[in-house]
Amino acid sequence: MPEMNVAEPAPAVAATPRRAGFRRLMINLGIAVGGLSALYTGAGSVLLPQQIEDIDRPHKVAVLGLVGGVSAAFALVFNPIGGALSDRTRSRLGRRAPWLLGVPLALLVVLAWVGQIRTVPVLLAGWCAAQAVANLYQAPLTAVIPDRVARRRRGGAAAVTGVAMVLGGVAGVGIASLFTAHVAWGYLALGLLMAAAAMSFVRNTADASSAHTPRPPRDTRKVSARLADFLSALRHWDFACVFASRAASIMGYFLIVGYELYILTDYIALPGGMRPAQGITVLAAIAAVGSLLAAAIAGPLSDRLNRRKPFVFISSAVAGAGCVLPVLSPTFGAVELYAAFAGLAFGTYLSVDAALVTLVLPRQEDAARDLGVLNMANAGPQVLAPLFAALIIGHLGGYRMLFILGGCCGIAGAIAVLPVRSVR
């Protein structure tokens, strides 16, 4: 594929706000990202597995694989759709605002329904709907950094969102663990948290860069031509490399994290008196400390050094190598050490890879659409990971092999970023 030339965004699109405005944007963006992360992590790691175990304990591993895999396919489709729709939306508050305000309220209704479900087929339908709606919100939120932050400051901005994801994830797991006996209230609590964060973001940050941008002309081409254009970013070499790196890294992550509750139930020897949900909270807190330290250092340092690839390579490699610890010793102490390594790697990856992504976008005016396509590298592995994990746990070596293959995916993610040419 030809090397991609990334043009500097037009000042009207991605100019860095004044210092006070930039600080306000970062604070509110962090809150919004944290709210979304709390929902994803708390519901996906605690509430959904607990609900499935309550419904069908004997087949919980296979059912979680089915629900997680099929529902992630909806995320795969709806994330780029949400990005493309928000690219074309115009309103007084900016093109992203209608989606950032309306979708969380719709998701709250869906989550209220999901919490009441008591059968596997209906739960599958409900979780698919939740994934679809959540990704209509995630896509425009992801586009905020390329919309409003200059290239030279994106490492720092990505560090803020990385820290917010970690803190939100810890909060989400903590909140969800309080509702394992009443998962319906847990879904509502997390949904309300995300909706409040979204409203705070739109209320406190003005999207002046896109409020008065002319609406693109109506596309009258054939569906096949529009689909080809929709995926055109994958024809750019650097974008494709970053896509592959993220897909491999996310696959390794979700092979393990989606089954964390069952890992602590069936594989790891927990200390006396500790429940698996409590163990997840402890591991999330350990990972959070490492992630916060790494994100706070790696993002700004990558800006100062003007280097992205080494950070992404090292973080993916460390995450992969850390998976060997629970293989060698299936104890809670070993998993705690694994969580610390994973936290350091994840914090570095979140803060720098998010900046690297924005630097390989082919066209600034299609930023949300192309970021939605890139987010298929998040959602695609989530389609496959639960299915693969269920197969591995049930027939190909159990939880020990799950960690080994998760580590291999991390190493593959590190290698895939090396051929990127336009970013150092």
What is the pLDDT, as a whole number, of residue 418? 86
What average pLDDT score do residues 315-338 get? Answer: 88
Query: pLDDT tier at 371 (50, 70, 90 boundaries)?
Result: confident
What average pLDDT score do residues 185-214 get? Answer: 82
For residue range 354-366, list pLDDT tens digits in order.
Answer: 778 778 877 766 6
Please tell me what DSSP assigns to residue 267. T
In angstroms, the CA 256 to CA 398 distance is 12
Query: pLDDT tier at 35 (50, 70, 90 boundaries)?
Result: very high
Q: Identify which has the larger pLDDT, 368 or 101.
A: 101
Q: What percent of the chain has pLDDT above 90?
A: 24
Kindly give, in sequence order, each residue whose CB lies less than 8 Å from that of residue 385, ignoring residues fewer than 6 positions away.
Answer: 68, 69, 72, 250, 251, 254, 255, 258
In angstroms, the CA 397 to CA 36 distance is 34
Please tell me what DSSP assigns to residue 212. T
What is the pLDDT, as a whole number, of residue 222? 57
What is the pLDDT, as a whole number, of residue 306? 81
Indicate if the pLDDT at residue 11 is higher than 80.
Answer: no
Indicate if the pLDDT at residue 21 is higher than 80.
Answer: no
What is the pLDDT, as a whole number, of residue 219? 58
State if pTM tops 0.75: no
Q: Identify which has the larger pLDDT, 329 or 315.
A: 329
Kindly give, in sequence order, each residue whose CB lies less than 8 Å from that of residue 422, ignoring residues fewer than 6 positions away.
Answer: 3, 4, 5, 6, 238, 359, 360
Beta bridge partners of 331: 269
Tell me the pLDDT of the chain averaged across its residues: 81
Pick the range with the lowest mean pLDDT from 5-14, 303-312, 320-329, 415-424. Answer: 5-14
What is the pLDDT, as a whole number, of residue 78? 85
What average pLDDT score do residues 216-234 get? Answer: 63
What is the pLDDT, as a whole number, of residue 225? 62
For residue range 49-72, list pLDDT tens digits in order.
Answer: 999 999 999 998 889 888 988 887
Kindly give, in sequence order, each residue whose CB lies less than 8 Å from that of residue 8, ignoring residues fewer than 6 positions away.
Answer: 151
For residue range 76-133, list pLDDT tens digits in order.
Answer: 788 778 777 877 766 667 778 888 888 999 999 999 999 999 999 999 999 999 999 9
Q: Map 322-383 to HEC letters.
A: HCHHHHHCCEHHHHHHHHHHHHHHHHHHHHHHHHHHHHCCCCHHHHHHHHHHHCHHHHHHHH
Residue 153 · residue 366 · CB < 8 Å = no
Pick the range with the lowest mean pLDDT from 12-26, 153-167, 179-193, 393-407. Answer: 12-26
What average pLDDT score do residues 290-300 get? Answer: 80
Indicate if the pLDDT at residue 8 is higher than 50.
Answer: no
Tokens of 302: 């990558």
CATH class of the 14-209+234-416 domain in this structure: mainly alpha
269: helix, coil or strand?
A: strand
Q: Identify which has the larger pLDDT, 250 or 194.
A: 194
Indicate if the pLDDT at residue 217 is higher than 70.
Answer: no
H or E element that contains 237: helix 237-257
What is the pLDDT, as a whole number, of residue 19? 63
Query: pLDDT tier at 211 (50, 70, 90 boundaries)?
Result: very low
What is the pLDDT, as a whole number, of residue 4? 34
Indicate if the pLDDT at residue 15 is higher than 60.
Answer: no
The structural domains of the chain, with segments of one domain joined by +, span: 14-209+234-416
What is the pLDDT, as a whole number, of residue 14? 44
For residue range 151-180, list pLDDT tens digits in order.
Answer: 777 777 877 887 788 788 889 988 998 998
Query: pLDDT tier at 189 (50, 70, 90 boundaries)?
Result: very high
Q: Which amino acid makes up residue 294?
A: A
